[in-house]
């Protein structure tokens, strides 16, 4: 499932999560532009195994119509997807 941006305005102190983790897919801000590198998928090499999806800490990798995609609005550019891909279908490129 692709993450999506939700409106989040706490109305009381009780609305603020007590821990650092929250439910999956709960994103309240887009990437502010501080990413140095971004993952770029080579669709000719990708076989759709979704190891990148399993290891992505931000949950920004998704499958849509049998193709893998990356949601750059929420990607932080950590490079884990690139390191885990055995076929080297994901390369990190400098952010423009």
Q: Are strands 4-5 and 26-27 parallel, antiparallel or unpaired?
A: parallel
CATH number of the domain to which 47 belongs: 3.30.70.20
Give 26-30's long-range contacts (Cβ < 8 A, gap of 24+).
Answer: 27/3, 27/74, 29/5, 30/5, 30/73, 30/74
> 38-79, pLDDT tens digit by residue?
999 999 999 999 999 999 998 889 998 888 999 898 899 999
Q: What is the pTM of this model?
A: 0.69
SS3 at position 20: coil
> 21-45, pLDDT tens digit by residue?
556 556 666 776 788 999 999 999 9
Tally of structural domains, the chain: 1
**Domain around 33:** 4-94
């Amino acid at each position: 499932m692709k993450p999506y941006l939700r409106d989040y305005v706490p109305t009381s102190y009780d609305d603020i999560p007590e821990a650092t983790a929250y439910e999956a897919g709960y994103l309240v801000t887009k990437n502010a532009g501080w990413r140095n590198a971004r993952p770029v998928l080579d669709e000719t090499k990708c076989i759709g195994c979704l190891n990148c999806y399993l290891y992505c800490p931000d949950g920004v990798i998704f499958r849509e119509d049998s193709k893998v995609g990356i949601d750059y609005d929420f990607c932080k550019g950590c490079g884990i997807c690139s390191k885990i891909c055995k076929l080297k279908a994901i390369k990190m490129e400098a952010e423009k």
